[in-house]
Structure 1
Amino acid sequence: MQRLFLIPLLFASLAAPRASHAQSPDPADYLFPVCGVQGLYSANFGEMRPNHFHSGVDIKTDGVEGKPLVAVADGYVSRIAVSPSGYGRALYIALDNGTTAVYGHLSRFRDDLEAFVRSERLRQRRNKIDLWCTADRFPVRQGDTVGYSGNSGTSFGPHLHYEIRETATQRTLNTVRLGIVRPKDDLPPTIVRIRYFETDTVRGIPMHTERFACDAVKSDPHTYRLARTAPLEVGPCGHFVVEATDRRNGVANTFGLYRVTQYVDDRPVFEYRMDGFTFDRSRYCNAAAHYPLQVATRHEAIRLAALEGACTDFCPTLVGRGALRTQEGQSHRIRIEAEDDCGNISQIAFTVRGRGARPAACDSLAVVCDRRRTSTLAADEATLTLPAGALYESLCVRPERLSLRPKADTTLILLSPVYRLLDASVPLQKAATVRIRAFVPEKLRPHTTLAVIDRKGRLVNAGGRYDDGTVTARTTQTGPMLVVADTVPPTVRPLFADGADLSRAEGLAFRLGDNFSGIASCELYIDGEWSICDRYPMKGTAFHPFDTPRTQSRHTVRLEASDASGNRTVWTGMFYR
């Protein structure tokens, strides 16, 4: 009886992933989402970003806000969100064809949606809000105006972030590859450089040592060769990393690659392809890339091999996990193709010849971290605990106390030595728990946190709280860390004169700033009543729109701003309107 029950489950589990995205959307179902723009793009789907793949396309709005956005197909507004970060003002439309259109960084929603959001924010007394709607609440027809483009959230300039997702799975799709949006692009990718890393095993741990980096030279628009003409000597086992980038007609922006395929003697052994992903897979970009190169370059640095803990959803071809294995004196012809999402292809070919192994070195004092198990690293008064699966591959690590001093920052109080428990070149899929014991005066304890020293020597907040002599944080940040106290409150400066007549103004505007941990909350009260206050961290501003009739009377205003270290500033004033 058990076996009869398990067999249908097995077939269901095998079939389910295919069924979830077996049928591609029809491009003819969709309108272009923005009106009155040139149709240029600033980012494409699947670009490798810090700790995530870009989940949509960024459509330029000609440097301005307020371009009308339309429903790309029939459906209903299923979700509306307002946040100071991420997509900012965001709109989700569940379409009748089984997909969901996502619009990010809006300046405002259409009037009925804006009124609904306003009433809910006031009712809940929340500036950040996430609202879900039933199908009968806000139905839309293809071509209906649903909002206006903007620059809200984590945005560096006016544009529309646009996604198409499978509604059932929330798997976000490559809209360019599917033909839903069609950029003008006949420019093939640029292959910049090829690197080779030899792999050895020490104490059961894979060690990757870079043996050469060779620039690529363009032979014709689609073909590259290595700057070195002699065959490249490679070890018994290793892999390549390709540095590449892409461009499109009419814009100066760079874009990510859609596909990279490696052939050995004309046999495909590895392919990276970006057709779509669910959001629980997004952070695996740190394993698809060669992470230390990726964070240090403007190119994409794609690893042509899969680490033990990498997600292979993006690798439809994977022979021997992509590793190149050679015998001494044996030659192979390597060909690497790079394709963009518009179908333009570049390639590079070269010959490698096998040589003897060059053993990798490993510090005899290093500690083994097995990615399959929980590991704890310790150095004097500091510990770091990694849950199973936090690493993309097992490592040999030597935690240590450093004599390093961060760049001078007179706004922070340094309360511990600097510890390097994991190097900054090591990315994490799951958060680690870091604990550092330090003597902290009682008055500083509410403002104490951990800081990590970045590649430029600057201190960056890593979070954490003091308790019983120890500062503890759960963080995915790695690199040198220490305990600091941030006692400096946020700065608040009104962008209007206290007591001014604002009868003709659109709202109240403030300049906000913080020295280290960042603004955590911002609450506005007008005449003692809680009022909506939109925060724009990328601009360092906060804004309250006037949305009630003028009364030609005096009003009091109070703005309370708190940072993530428990410091608080209160500004009070008045205006006439």
Structure 2
Amino acid sequence: MRHILLTLLFSGGLLAAPAQEPRSERYRFPVRNVAGLYSANFGEMRPNHFHSGVDIKTDGVTGKPVVAAADGYVVRIAVSPSGYGRALYIAHPDGTTTVYGHLERFRTDIESYLRYKRYEQGRSNVDFTCKPSLFPVRAGDTVALSGNSGMSFGPHLHFEVRRSSDQRTLNTLAAKLLPVRDRIAPRIMRLHYVEVDSLGDVPVHSRPRTFDVVRRSEGDYALRQTQPVAVGRRGYFIVECSDRKDEVYNTFGIYRLTEEVDGEVRYEYRMDGFLFGDTRYCNAVSYYPMQLSSRNEVIRLTQPAGCPDRFFTTMKNRALLTTPAGRRQEVRITAEDDCGNRSVLAFTVEGKADERSFRAPACDSLPVVRHDRDFHREGDGVRIEIPAGTLYESCFYTQRPYDEPQPKDSTLLFLSRGVEILDVRLPMHRYATLWIDATQVPPELRRHAVLASLSPKGKLRYEGGKWSDGRIRLRTRSLGTFFVVADTVRPTIRPRFTAHDLSGQRSVTFSVGDNFSGVGSVSCLVDGRMAILEENRVKGTYTHYFDDELFGRNREHTLRLTSTDGAGNTRVWEGTYYR
């Protein structure tokens, strides 16, 4: 009877009601038997995305009970080697959905249903929705065990609260939906200043000037230099900052950053939530060239032309500082965390003479890539298409041969000299498409020919692409220096077991690796039938848990593991075992 009532309750109009403002009294802490500490907060700057939830420490171990934060039903189940790994989504009557990521195992009935769906779809990695009547839950019900699956580098629970209607993520700690212990004000590490000149409608930025910051007391910061900061005709500041919380050594993201000039708020960034389609705008909010290598948040106090207003509660004149020559102004920058702790950096600026301001060098001969228009160009062995909305600011297009020594990698065949296209430190919101001449590639190497590039640190990395009609075509969100290479080395497969009789074991594990282009796919057959694999991409391991119901016991079995890399090279391991 209870199951029937719950089914009627959750499949009826209750969950279809208009979304309510989530309140803390509706939510249980989502993991039991832990200290209640965090390793990451909402909205942190991550590579090419904002962090969409909070990471809750599980005291360095897996297997902690994960519970439903509120009444509802399981609406979605996902298993992926990347991202959240094993993840569970629960819809609630108040119009929110909670997400539980990096899980080790689901509850027994959910795990059984997952097994059925994997065999039904013929693949180990799945993502599917569930009817409300399938898995109703009450607040506090155990739904899974915490783990370390997906792109996770240590045991923890990733937890989110989303608005169900559009999946907009909500700042769980700032909204006080979960308890947190934090009496520590944000840390302000450094201040930078950049001048801006314009050539036509293309902004050109000077190199940042860096100013050391000292902490005078908790929450009170000043510049090490005592004289005013000399500023040009137009410019903006960049703040390097981070946050801490009680009882942990982890660094956290900033909730709010405000800039006042002579008492007037000119800029305010605030992270209350975002849509997943907007997550890459972190590269516009941050100062991307510095953010690439910083452990802190590097936030520029201005709004690029291609960045939407919704990340800023205040923005006047794009927050560009235009202090007249000889005039002084008072600047006050306030960093606030998601628990209301604040730090202030106050200093004086003075406008410098116009002739001392930054002037951009002439670039009359270079094509312009406008941030709000499509760009097409073909020449010197390269064709490129950059859609409108790809760049956050307009820039001049540059392309030149790479004149440095060729990178060394004995496992690759270099089939072209390098070509530099724009800058690897240029952030891109959408995909550009490249076609690079590859007519010189011999027929026998064409199926293995791909593009490689240099990372911001100068390391050779795989980009991908396919050879077709004498060119290699690539969709990419990163430009820079490219090479045509051939990767002909097959992946490696190493069994991590030696015994033939596996009757006493629960599983078999393989290590699978690749020299350059990465492991693209791995499949497993037992006795000629699809077998489920659990992939740990961080460790490079693939585990098959024996399914005696499907494959039987007390006999010899054949196992075949096939791995293909990003360049089309395939390796097969085949063996037998008794179970």
Q: Do both share a fold (TM > 0.5)?
A: yes
Secondary structure, aligned partner of 2:206: strand
Q: How does 1:14-33 map to 2 (within 5 A)?
A: 24-33=21-30
Matched, 1:128 2:131: no
Q: How does 1:359-438 map to 2 (within 5 A)?
A: 359-378=359-378, 380-438=380-438
Q: How does 1:398-547 map to 2 (within 5 A)?
A: 398-438=398-438, 439-497=440-498, 500-547=500-547
| Cα distance between partner residues in 2 of 1:69 and 1:343 | 28
How far residue 416 of structure 1 moved from its aligned partner, in angstroms, is 1.1
Q: How does 1:287-306 map to 2 (within 5 A)?
A: 287-306=284-303
1:240 to 214, 237, 241: 237
Task: Give TM-score scaled by structure 2 length.
Answer: 0.94
Distance 1:111 1:362, change over 3 A: farther
| Cα distance between partner residues in 2 of 1:531 and 1:43 | 35
How far residue 183 of structure 1 moved from its aligned partner, in angstroms, is 1.9
User: For residue 552 of structure 1, what is the aligned residue in structure 2?
Assistant: 554
Q: Is 258-267 or 521-530 further displaced after alignment?
A: 521-530
C-alpha offsets along residues 244-281 of structure 1, whole Å, 9 cap, x if unaligned? Answer: 11111221211110010000001101001100000011
Distance 1:528 1:342, change over 3 A: same
Matched, 1:283 2:280: yes
How far residue 424 of structure 1 moved from its aligned partner, in angstroms, is 1.0
User: For residue 38 of structure 2, what is the aligned residue in structure 1?
Assistant: 41
In structure 1, give the amino acid aligned to 2:274: F
Matched, 1:325 2:322: yes
Q: Is 562-571 or 499-508 further displaced after alignment?
A: 499-508
How far residue 314 of structure 1 moved from its aligned partner, in angstroms, is 1.0
| Cα distance between partner residues in 2 of 1:65 and 1:396 | 50
User: For residue 7 of structure 1, what is the aligned residue in structure 2?
Assistant: none
1:308 to 305, 308, 312: 305
How far residue 528 of structure 1 moved from its aligned partner, in angstroms, is 1.3
Q: Give yes or no for contact 2:196–2:358 (8 Å, CA) kept in 1.
A: no
| Cα distance between partner residues in 1 of 2:547 and 2:269 | 50
In structure 2, give the amino acid aligned to 1:155: S
| Cα distance between partner residues in 2 of 1:405 and 1:37 | 53
Q: Give yes or no for contact 1:195–1:210 (8 Å, CA) kept in 2.
A: no
C-alpha offsets along residues 485-518 of structure 1, whole Å, 9 cap, x if unaligned? Answer: 1111111011111x52211212111111011111
| Cα distance between partner residues in 1 of 2:545 and 2:309 | 47
In structure 2, give the amino acid aligned to 1:535: E
C-alpha offsets along residues 70-104 of structure 1, whole Å, 9 cap, x if unaligned? Answer: 01110000000011111111100001111000011
| Cα distance between partner residues in 1 of 2:319 and 2:457 | 34
| Cα distance between partner residues in 2 of 1:121 and 1:483 | 38
Q: Give yes or no for contact 1:379–1:399 (8 Å, CA) kept in 2.
A: no
| Cα distance between partner residues in 1 of 2:74 and 2:365 | 58
How far residue 367 of structure 1 moved from its aligned partner, in angstroms, is 2.4
Q: Give yes or no for contact 1:367–1:396 (8 Å, CA) kept in 2.
A: yes
Q: CA RMSD in A?
A: 1.5
| Cα distance between partner residues in 1 of 2:266 and 2:205 | 19
| Cα distance between partner residues in 1 of 2:433 and 2:18 | 37
How far residue 364 of structure 1 moved from its aligned partner, in angstroms, is 4.8
How far residue 321 of structure 1 moved from its aligned partner, in angstroms, is 1.2
In structure 2, give the amino acid aligned to 1:249: D
Task: Give TM-score scaled by structure 1 length.
Answer: 0.94
1:265 to 238, 262, 278: 262
| Cα distance between partner residues in 2 of 1:478 and 1:299 | 24
| Cα distance between partner residues in 2 of 1:402 and 1:551 | 60
| Cα distance between partner residues in 2 of 1:353 and 1:379 | 47
| Cα distance between partner residues in 2 of 1:111 and 1:362 | 67
User: For residue 12 of structure 1, what is the aligned residue in structure 2?
Assistant: none
Secondary structure, aligned partner of 2:222: strand
In structure 1, give the amino acid aligned to 2:427: P
How far residue 383 of structure 1 moved from its aligned partner, in angstroms, is 2.7
Q: Give yes or no for contact 2:431–2:477 (8 Å, CA) kept in 1.
A: yes
How far residue 404 of structure 1 moved from its aligned partner, in angstroms, is 2.5
How far residue 377 of structure 1 moved from its aligned partner, in angstroms, is 4.4
User: For residue 570 of structure 1, what is the aligned residue in structure 2?
Assistant: 572
| Cα distance between partner residues in 1 of 2:181 and 2:477 | 38
How far residue 366 of structure 1 moved from its aligned partner, in angstroms, is 2.9
How far residue 220 of structure 1 moved from its aligned partner, in angstroms, is 0.6
Secondary structure, aligned partner of 1:293: helix
User: For residue 13 of structure 2, what is the aligned residue in structure 1?
Assistant: none
Secondary structure, aligned partner of 2:333: strand
Quote the sequence identity (%). Answer: 48
Secondary structure, aligned partner of 2:329: strand
Q: Is 264-273 or 202-211 further displaced after alignment?
A: 202-211
How far residue 131 of structure 1 moved from its aligned partner, in angstroms, is 1.1
| Cα distance between partner residues in 2 of 1:426 and 1:29 | 43
Distance 1:74 1:222, change over 3 A: same
Q: How does 1:59-74 map to 2 (within 5 A)?
A: 59-74=56-71
Distance 1:30 1:409, change over 3 A: same
| Cα distance between partner residues in 1 of 2:66 and 2:218 | 37
Matched, 1:159 2:160: no
| Cα distance between partner residues in 2 of 1:436 and 1:412 | 18
Q: Is 104-113 or 20-29 further displaced after alignment?
A: 20-29
User: For residue 139 of structure 1, what is the aligned residue in structure 2?
Assistant: 136
